[in-house]
């Protein structure tokens, strides 16, 4: 035992403290409490002599005997544990009076007790939990650099610490200083990059989901929603989150627990007028948001970000003109956001988000930033899509469908059509048409549709689907001449009878890029292709290519109909003729006509 921890030091204390300390050393809970209360007002020289009185209550040799008492309802055990808890508290408060070697010794003793207290908690859960005490103790003892190193290398310490972290974040009375200390420990000592350590964090938080919830809660607590008066602690909370969430399995849980909302709100608050956010933190938090919003099918978190002030946040960030920030923001404006603008759910949050950010784009700093052009390009695309969405919401476009029975094809509004109850993706004007189409092939196709809807597209709502259809109809109308020219070009290159060109609208870079390619190149075209061929030119197959998040893309099939096959006949005729083809489309009594200019 280190000399400073030996009991005989107590004799050097003046009376009556000496008597009190002796009684405390002998396991009187009352006197331990009194001694604790004396700490703030005692002279510096005396405090060093308090150490042995507390330390005497932490004899690790007592533990095996106490462990045996765990199964019985022993009063002696409770008293002994209360003494140990008070002793730990005293030593933690007196940390600055421990010399380095004594501190290491105290840590190894306290760690044995912490493990025993954990064991007690598991065997007989009690009201008075010691988790906050445990973290303050760990944080206090790590002020000694040598002990800090020992703590860092103690297996299991992170799991125990994380339990305390959960308790601290859940407790509204946790002092801000403790929250800051927690952040520092997480950032500096947790070393979440080591898989064993992150495993401990997950274990301590009660699973991946628990850890994700913990990180999000911590950030939310750190970021006041109403004012911008913050300190660097908030930045540390973000950094802590970022360090930990690099671990793959956490990503989905974090998103489910609202990490995008938490970090977007933080970004906004921290980049606000006070500019509290450190320059280094911004790319990290933007990176955190990007990791999540860009990754998940259908971009649900883009909407969450937009609703939480993401656009305002990035505009404020961009005004700082740092190369690192620019890099992260470019990807946001050039890829992630434009790709998500095919989803009705995303667009429905976009107007408010743009209006919220717009005032901050009028500053001199933002105008001079390299992101200014990117922002304007993005807003132009956003306005176009919003116009389409507003038409769609007013019922002006995309509310009609054709009866899926090929021989019929009657155009009706959505709500008057019958829908196949099994696959929910075929529509009919009457029961007669439904029955006829069932025999004509839907019997077989229905199962395929059902499987596809259930397995692959769960993230898209019916509204998202119908909007996508309306969008491609809208863009088709705008680009009809181009489509027809490309179709003719395709037929020319593929003169075989019955060749079918599939028109692809590729939305993966923002505005659609239109191409006509062979049906075989599109996924799952067989049944739809067969229907298009059977229709004699009245049904065309269009594929809408959208990005789904990450590296994933999906092709949605949109069949287009005309009331007869004459357009296709004309296209085929042009394809068969010679010379270059340009086309102009004229709507004539509801029948599509094709004016063709042949040039040599």
- Between residue 540 and residue 569, which ones bind Zn ion under the rule CB under 5 A? none
DSSP 3-state of 126: coil
Instruction: Provide the terminal-to-terminal Cα distance of the chain, rounded to the nearest Å.
Output: 102
**Would you give the binding string for Zn ion spanning residues 239-258, x where CB under 5 A is met?**
--------------------
CB of residue 505 to Zn ion, shortest distance in Å? 25
Cα separation values, 217 from 112, 210, 295, 328, 411, Å:
30, 10, 22, 25, 52
At residue 505, φ and ψ (nearest 5 deg) are -105, 105
Q: How many CA within 13 A on the CB side of residue 398?
A: 24
Q: How many CA within 13 A on the CB side of residue 82?
A: 16
> Residue 48 or residue 405: which is nearer to Zn ion going by CB?
405
> Residue 183 or residue 420: which is nearer to Zn ion going by CB?
420
Provide the 8-state DSSP code for 333. I
- Between residue 446 and residue 475, which ones bind Zn ion under the rule CB under 5 A? 446
CB of residue 402 to Zn ion, shortest distance in Å? 8
Check if the beta carbon of residue 519 is closer than 8 Å to that of residue 529.
yes
Give the span between the Cα atoms of 392 and 59, in whole angstroms: 75
Nearest to 403 by CA among 434, 424, 443: 434
The C-alpha torsion from 424 through 425 and 427 to 433, rounded to 10°, is -90
> Residue 81 or residue 423: which is nearer to Zn ion going by CB?
423
> Residue 143 or residue 447: which is nearer to Zn ion going by CB?
447
Provide the 8-state DSSP code for 35. H
> Residue 242 or residue 428: which is nearer to Zn ion going by CB?
428
Q: Positive or negative CA dihedral for 129, 135, 136, 138?
A: positive
CB of residue 533 to Zn ion, shortest distance in Å? 20
Nearest to 557 by CA among 421, 404, 438: 404
> Residue 115 or residue 399: which is nearer to Zn ion going by CB?
399
> Residue 246 or residue 448: which is nearer to Zn ion going by CB?
448
CB of residue 558 to Zn ion, shortest distance in Å? 17
Q: By CB under 5 A, is residue 539 in contact with Zn ion?
A: no
Nearest to 274 by CA among 322, 324, 235, 305: 235
- Between residue 386 and residue 445, which ones bind Zn ion under the rule CB under 5 A? 403, 405, 408, 410, 420, 422-423, 426, 429, 433
Q: What is the enclosing helix (H) or strand (E) of 593?
A: strand 591-599
> Residue 292 or residue 405: which is nearer to Zn ion going by CB?
405
Q: Token pair 């600055």 is at which residue?
A: 96
CB of residue 430 to Zn ion, shortest distance in Å? 6
> Residue 423 or residue 539: which is nearer to Zn ion going by CB?
423
> Residue 462 or residue 600: which is nearer to Zn ion going by CB?
462
CB of residue 562 to Zn ion, shortest distance in Å? 16
CB of residue 183 to Zn ion, shortest distance in Å? 55
- Between residue 272 and residue 301, which ones bind Zn ion under the rule CB under 5 A? none
CB of residue 405 to Zn ion, shortest distance in Å? 5
**Would you give the binding string for Zn ion spanning residues 349-368, x where CB under 5 A is met?**
--------------------
Q: Token pair 């009201």 is at which residue?
A: 127
- Between residue 161 and residue 200, which ones bind Zn ion under the rule CB under 5 A? none
Helix %, strand %, coil % for the chain, to 5? 65, 10, 25
CB of residue 426 to Zn ion, shortest distance in Å? 5
CB of residue 535 to Zn ion, shortest distance in Å? 13
CB of residue 410 to Zn ion, shortest distance in Å? 5
Give the span between the Cα atoms of 297 and 290, in whole angstroms: 14
CB of residue 297 to Zn ion, shortest distance in Å? 24
> Residue 385 or residue 556: which is nearer to Zn ion going by CB?
556
- Between residue 313 and residue 352, which ones bind Zn ion under the rule CB under 5 A? none
DSSP 3-state of 174: coil
Give the span between the Cα atoms of 297 and 255, in whole angstroms: 12
Specify the length of the chain in residues.
600
Nearest to 470 by CA among 416, 393, 537, 546: 393
Other residues' Cβ atoms within 10 Å of the Cβ of residue 175: 11
**DSSP per-residue codes, 8-20:** GGGGGSPTTHHHH
- Between residue 102 and residue 161, which ones bind Zn ion under the rule CB under 5 A? none
Structure tokens at 142: 């790590």
Structure tokens at 184: 């520092």
> Residue 405 or residue 570: which is nearer to Zn ion going by CB?
405
> Residue 26 or residue 466: which is nearer to Zn ion going by CB?
466
Nearest to 88 by CA among 152, 138, 126: 138
Other residues' Cβ atoms within 10 Å of the Cβ of residue 513: 12
CB of residue 437 to Zn ion, shortest distance in Å? 8
Check if the beta carbon of residue 503 is closer than 8 Å to that of residue 487.
yes
How many binding residues for Zn ion (CB under 5 A)? Answer: 11
Q: At what angle do helices 44-55 and 17-25 cross, to 10 degrees?
A: 20
> Residue 228 or residue 438: which is nearer to Zn ion going by CB?
438
Structure tokens at 571: 């296209």
CB of residue 422 to Zn ion, shortest distance in Å? 4
Which residues of this protein are in contact with Zn ion, per CB under 5 A?
403, 405, 408, 410, 420, 422-423, 426, 429, 433, 446
């Amino acid at each position: 035992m280190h000399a400073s921890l030996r009991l005989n030091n107590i004799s050097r204390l003046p009376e009556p403290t000496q008597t009190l300390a002796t009684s405390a050393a002998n396991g009187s809970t009352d006197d331990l409490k009194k001694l604790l209360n004396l700490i703030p007002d005692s002279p510096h020289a005396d405090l060093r002599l308090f150490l042995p009185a507390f330390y005497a209550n932490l004899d690790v040799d007592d533990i095996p005997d106490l462990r045996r008492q765990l199964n019985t309802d022993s009063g002696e055990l409770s008293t002994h544990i209360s003494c140990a808890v008070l002793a730990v508290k005293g030593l933690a408060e007196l940390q600055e009076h421990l010399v380095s070697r004594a501190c290491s010794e105290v840590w190894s003793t306290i760690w044995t007790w912490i493990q025993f207290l954990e064991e007690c908690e598991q065997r007989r859960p009690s009201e008075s939990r010691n988790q906050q005490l445990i973290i303050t103790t760990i944080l206090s003892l790590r002020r000694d650099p040598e002990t800090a190193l020992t703590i860092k290398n103690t297996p299991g310490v992170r799991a125990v610490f994380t339990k305390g972290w959960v308790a601290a974040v859940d407790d509204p009375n946790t002092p801000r200083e403790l929250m800051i200390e927690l952040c520092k420990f997480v950032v500096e000592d947790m070393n979440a990059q080591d898989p064993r350590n992150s495993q401990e964090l997950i274990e301590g938080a009660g699973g991946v989901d628990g850890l994700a919830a913990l990180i999000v809660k911590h950030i939310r607590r750190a970021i006041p929603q109403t004012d911008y008066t913050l300190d660097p602690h908030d930045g540390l909370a973000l950094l802590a989150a970022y360090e930990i969430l690099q671990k793959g399995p956490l990503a989905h849980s974090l998103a489910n627990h609202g990490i995008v909302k938490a970090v977007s709100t933080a970004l906004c608050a921290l980049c606000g007028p006070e500019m509290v956010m450190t320059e280094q933190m911004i790319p990290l938090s933007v990176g955190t948001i990007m990791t999540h919003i860009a990754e998940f099918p259908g971009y649900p978190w883009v909407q969450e970000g937009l609703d939480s002030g993401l656009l305002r946040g990035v505009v404020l960030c961009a005004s700082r003109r740092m190369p690192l920030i620019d890099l992260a923001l470019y990807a946001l404006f050039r890829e992630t956001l434009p790709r998500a603008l095919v989803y009705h759910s995303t667009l429905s949050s976009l107007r408010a988000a743009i209006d919220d950010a717009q005032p901050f784009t009028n500053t001199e700093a933002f105008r001079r930033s390299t992101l200014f052009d990117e922002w304007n390009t993005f807003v132009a695309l956003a306005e176009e899509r919003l116009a389409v969405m507003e038409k769609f919401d007013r019922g002006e476009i995309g509310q009609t469908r054709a009866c899926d029975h090929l021989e019929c094809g009657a155009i009706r509004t959505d709500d008057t059509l019958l829908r196949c109850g099994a696959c929910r993706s075929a529509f009919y004007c009457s029961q007669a048409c439904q029955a006829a189409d069932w025999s004509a092939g839907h019997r077989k196709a229905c199962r395929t549709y059902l499987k596809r809807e259930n397995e692959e597209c769960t993230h898209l709502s019916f509204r998202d689907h119908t909007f996508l259809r309306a969008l491609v109809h809208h863009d088709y109308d705008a680009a009809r001449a181009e489509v027809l020219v490309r179709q003719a070009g395709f037929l020319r290159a593929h003169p075989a009878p019955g060749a079918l060109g599939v028109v692809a609208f590729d939305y993966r870079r923002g505005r659609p890029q239109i191409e006509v390619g062979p049906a075989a190149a599109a996924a799952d075209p067989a049944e739809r292709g067969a229907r298009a061929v059977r229709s004699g030119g009245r049904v065309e197959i269009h594929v809408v290519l959208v990005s789904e998040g990450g590296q994933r893309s999906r092709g949605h099939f949109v069949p287009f109909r005309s009331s007869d096959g004459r357009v296709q006949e004309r296209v085929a005729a042009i394809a068969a003729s010679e010379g270059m083809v340009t086309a102009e489309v004229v709507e004539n009594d509801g029948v599509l006509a094709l004016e063709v200019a042949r040039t040599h």
